[in-house]
Amino acid sequence: MTRGAPAATATKSTAYLLSNVAKILAVDRSKEIEDAVSILTAAKKLFVYGVGRSGLAARAFAMRMVQLGLDCYFIGETITPVVGDGDAVLIVSNTGSTMSAIQVANIARRVGAKVISVTGHRTSKLAHASNVVLLIQSNGDASQARLAPLGTLFEAATVLLLDGLVAQVMERLGQTEADMRGRHAIMV
């Protein structure tokens, strides 16, 4: 790296992420988002699931659902009640082929729960098992491998898409930021 351009790759990487995430999110998903919000706000209990960095994006979403007053759980953590009829499960998986993600979706459907998936592949087994698919197609160009390696683009787009979903659920439920702050967990 030249002294004249310190940290140039970091800057290029964030710019690359911002412009590509903007493109991905510009796709019209209003129908799917409407459906997802209806499912999320009508469910008795919510569950979220994901593995690796996808699981982190899912957890970030789950925390907001709890702050919005919904009963929401992350599958695989200590505290997870059983999924049942009338519940909803949101699953994040880029490939849509992670075995545990497919299994969670199948179990959920079998017991009568609705499944919303955030995935990069419309023809994946996960997508097929879902009631609503939020598709995040993140095919980058030649510089992706260097500026946004592996699933980085999918994950960043998922974080922002789900934060958009939070705002929509918040509006639907008539919740304010102050309401959410009042439900904020102890942070020690």
Quote the CA–CA distance of 7 and 97 in Å, as a whole number.
36
Tokens of 181: 């702050």
The residue (of 29 and 114) whose beta carbon lies closer to a copy of itself is 29
Quote the CA–CA distance of 103 and 35 in Å, as a whole number.
23
- Whether 84 contacts 112, CB under 8 Å: yes
In the region spanning residues 107 to 126, those forming contacts with a copy of itself, defined by CB under 8 A, are: 107
The residue (of 122 and 182) whose beta carbon lies closer to a copy of itself is 182
Q: How far is the CB of 149 from a copy of itself (least distance, A)?
A: 4
Tokens of 16: 């690359």
User: Considering only residues 99, 123, 139, 141, which one is a binding residue for a copy of itself as defined by CB under 8 A?
Assistant: 99
2 near a copy of itself, judged by CB under 8 A: no
Report in angstroms the alpha-carbon separations of 149 from 16, 47, 114, 153, 170: 12, 29, 32, 8, 33
135 near a copy of itself, judged by CB under 8 A: no
Q: How far is the CB of 65 from a copy of itself (least distance, A)?
A: 9
30 near a copy of itself, judged by CB under 8 A: yes
40 near a copy of itself, judged by CB under 8 A: no
User: Considering only residues 92, 119, 122, 145, which one is a binding residue for a copy of itself as defined by CB under 8 A?
Assistant: 145
User: Considering only residues 39, 43, 75, 132, which one is a binding residue for a copy of itself as defined by CB under 8 A?
Assistant: 75
In the region spanning residues 9 to 28, those forming contacts with a copy of itself, defined by CB under 8 A, are: 9-14, 17-18, 21-22, 25
Tokens of 104: 């969670």
